[in-house]
Structures are given as C-alpha cells and as structure tokens.
Structure 1
C-alpha cells in the first residue's frame, strides 16, 4: 500500500494549512504589500515597526527583495520603494486573467460605437483595479492606466460591484461608518453609500456625473460570471456638457449594457435580464 503524501492531500483543499506556511516568505511578501499609493516610500525602521519584526530580519529581507528587483533604494535617502520587478508581477497577473482576453475586443467595439474611452475593472477589497482600457481616438481621452487603483466607493465602476454585496458584507468591508468624500456627489458614510447602491441594484447599472472627479461623467454596468457573481465592471467616461442627456440615457447606456452582456456571456453568465433592467 502506497504512502499518502499529506501535502498532496492539503493541496486539494481550498484553505491553506498554516503549518505549511513559510514565515520568511510571508514576511517578504508582507513588505511588498505595505507599499501603496499613500506610502510610496518607507525606510527599514518604519517597515520593522509596521510589521513588528526585528530590524536585523527586515534588513535581510530587504536585501533579498532588492536582489530580486522587487524593491529598490530611493537615491540619496535611506528609503525603499517598489521596483520594476514588482510592477512586472502585477502586469503578469492582469495578463493571466481570462477576462482581459475577452474584454479587449469588446472594449474596442464599445469605444468605437460611442466615441468614448472605455474601461474594465475588478475589485480588490475597497479598491477597483483597472485591468483593460480603450482610449477614445477623437474626443476626451482617459488618463487612467492599466493597474491604476481607485477607491471603490468613490467611483461609478466600484458602485456596480459594491451593489452586488449584501448589507452585512458591505459593513464588513467598511467597518468604519465614515468614508472619504472625493466630490459633492460621493457618499461620506456607509449608510449613504448603501442607499446609493440600492438604486444601482434596482437599475442594474450606474450613471453619475462629477462623482469622483469634477467635469467627468460615467456610465457603468457589472460583468457577471457563471455563478452570477459580479466579477468585474465596464464603463465609458465623458466630459460634462459635451453629450446630450438623450444620448447618455440612450446610445451610451444601451452600449454599456450590451458590452456588459457580451462579456458576461463570455464568462458563462446566462441570466441577461438582470443586466438589462433599464427603467
């Protein structure tokens, strides 16, 4: 009778067994994860304090990450920042997503039909991450890049993804009652956000003007997979005052919903009625 490999058995389960976790690797990855748009640079003592790890250990981890081109020293300082190698990992992840393969031709068709810039995002906790885009050729062109992260509650794209959550899930995602406001339109509390999401949920799409950035309007719809989960969102953006309201509620809305439907079908979603609840 053959011996059973316990590691092979554990790989069949969805939850990792903590006894197989490598502390050094985890700490190294923890270092990479503490860098974000608000903390672009940090020095070794700051990192050690943040992670509650001895400075000697942090020093060795930083040397290893620097050798692997995942972080680099900031010239003339003692600070570190993410290096090109870390960016490469992010792009490789985005390129590996099945949805990006399907999204690009659909985004091109959407942009050509509307004359506007079009985007696809996924949600990462309280952020949305842009994974695909098609810039407009003649009109206002989008300034966001692949990999750009924006707050989910502050964007129309994020709203259609958050609308898929229950109230309990929303509270868990945002344990603090207050939210950062980015414009007069942005909800500044979880309760107000929940009210906005309820409208989006009923409509099956979201339209807003100057919600995140003054002078910019957006129409977004969710993209669903075979489990009916909202796994991504698609939108077009336009400059306020350049598009008639009849076009916004007609051609643009219908085009975004059609693109969301097509991309959802590619991901084996079948109930299209939920996507086209245009009131």
Structure 2
C-alpha cells in the first residue's frame, strides 16, 4: 500500500465500514440474515456484530425478521435508493428528445451519466443504419477513452482530475486514447473551450460520434447526449454541420427541461 493510500485510510471509520459491509450482504436472493452468519462471513466478533445490528436497526436501515432472531433491510435503505434514482428521472425527459433525434438523423442516440472513472448508459435508441454497436443500458465505458466521458471530465479542475486518476491508470481502447494524465488534460482543455466533441475513431476505429453536455439549473453537467455512426456514412461537412446542430439542439431542449436557462452555448 502506498503512503498516499495509508494516509487516506487514516480518515476511514472502521465501525461505519463494517456497518456498510453488513448492508451489502443483503441481496435479492438473500433477504434475511442473522448475527452468527454475519459474524462468520465478515470475520468479526459476535458482540461487535450485535452492536452494529442494533445501531442499523435504530437508524431504520434494518428491521427484525423471523420473530426477532434475524434481520432484513428497512425502509431507510429504500429512501437512499429513491434519493439515488431521483436524478435518473432525467431519462423520462430525455426519452422523447433522443427518440426524435434518432428518427431525424437515423443514427443511434444515447444518454449517459458519469460514475467515477466510467460513463454509464441510461438510454439507447438504435439507429436505422447498418451500425451494430453492442451497447446496452447499464453498460460502462472508461470516461477518458470516450467522447462522452471527456465531456464530463472537461468540467473537472486539474486538482479533481489528479485525485480521480491518482494512479495514472489510463486504459487504452484505440490509438487515439490518451496514454497519460498530461495528454488527457490537454484534450480536456480543448473540449472545455469548444463545449462539444466530434470524434472520429476516438473510442473505436471506424466509429464517429458527437457528444454534447446536458446541464441542470445549477449549470452542472449531469448527462451527455451522444450520436454515433460508421465512418463514411456522412461527409465531414454534414458531421460538423447539421448533425452537430441537431445534437446541440437536443441537449439544449433537455437542459431547458432541467431548469438550465443560459442557452447561448452549452460550454462553460
């Protein structure tokens, strides 16, 4: 373990980490657990487990089951789930916008969010072209290696980027993938000034894409709209012209729906 990791670990609260470990043990196929099996699986004393269970119960994260001998998840966990899902309501606003963009352009459209170093697909509308891009809702891709991810990363300060990529691990997916953080930051500065990305073979050779940010009422980039096509399906004039304008317009519509009003240009 590096000195930096050891320093970071000094701020961790062991009791809280153990409590979270207990909550993570509950699954769809494992809805009820008792103290002995929790203690055995986590390798901690039963007395510690009992205290953790009582704490989680008092906070509403666990409730008694089987006459009080076991535990199952409580409504407080559901509340956290709803809090997480609330931003995902963006999908309901985005659905008709992305579907119309797909129909107007005949190319595949996507809505993605960022989760750490990854982008996650929330919506996908396959296009009418021959492109068969094997991507589904929930798919994760490395942010630094995609135009959508770069759009998110361009919002971060240099310090935040250093923290996010503290180990400088940049997985390569094509010859255009930045090989280190310095190269990534150079690309992000250009992305930041431009406010959108048109990529030609950046993530995968032979695939062109347009990525435009979606902002909420606080001007934060909360999602990215993406349009993809095979190389050669359209000429550069159309790619940089009316297709770009259509994606920009779709992102503006969705941003307006989320309360963003500064629609001069979606860049910072």
Q: Is TM > 0.5 for Structure 1 vs Structure 2?
A: yes
Closer, same or farther: CA 217–55 of 1 in aligned 2, 3 Å: farther
Q: Hey, what does 1:9 align to over in structure 2?
A: none
**By how many angstroms is 1:137 displaced?**
2.8
Distance 1:164 1:93 in 2: 21
Residue 124 (structure 1) shift? 0.4
What does residue 266 of structure 2 align with? 275
Residue 242 of structure 1: CA displacement?
Answer: 1.6
> How has the CA–CA distance of structure 1 residues 29 and 142 changed in structure 2, closer, same or farther, with 3 Å as cutoff?
farther
SS of equivalent to 1:161: helix
Offset at residue 55 of structure 1 (A): 8.8
- TM-score when normalising by structure 2: 0.70
Question: For each residue in 1:13-36, what CA deviation from the matched residue of structure 2 results, as whole angstroms up to 9, or x when unmatched?
Answer: xxxxx7995944x1145569xxxx
Moved over 3 A (4+): 18-24, 28-32, 92-96
Distance in 2 (alpha carbons) for counterparts of 1:31 and 1:248? 49
Counterpart Cα distance in 1 of 2:119 and 2:22:
25
Unaligned runs of 5+ in 1: 1-17, 33-51, 61-89
Q: Are 2:232 and 1:236 aligned?
A: no
Counterpart residue number, 2:241:
250
More moved, 92-101 vs 124-133: 92-101
Structure number with greater Rg is 2
**What runs of 5+ residues in structure 2 fail to find an aligned partner?**
1-12, 27-40, 50-80
Residue aligned with 1:272, SS: coil
Q: TM-score, normalised by structure 1?
A: 0.68
> Deviations along 1:159-202, whole A, 9 cap, x unmatched?
10111111111111111234111111110111100000111111
> For the aligned residues, what is the CA RMSD?
3.2
Report SS of the residue matched to 2:193: helix
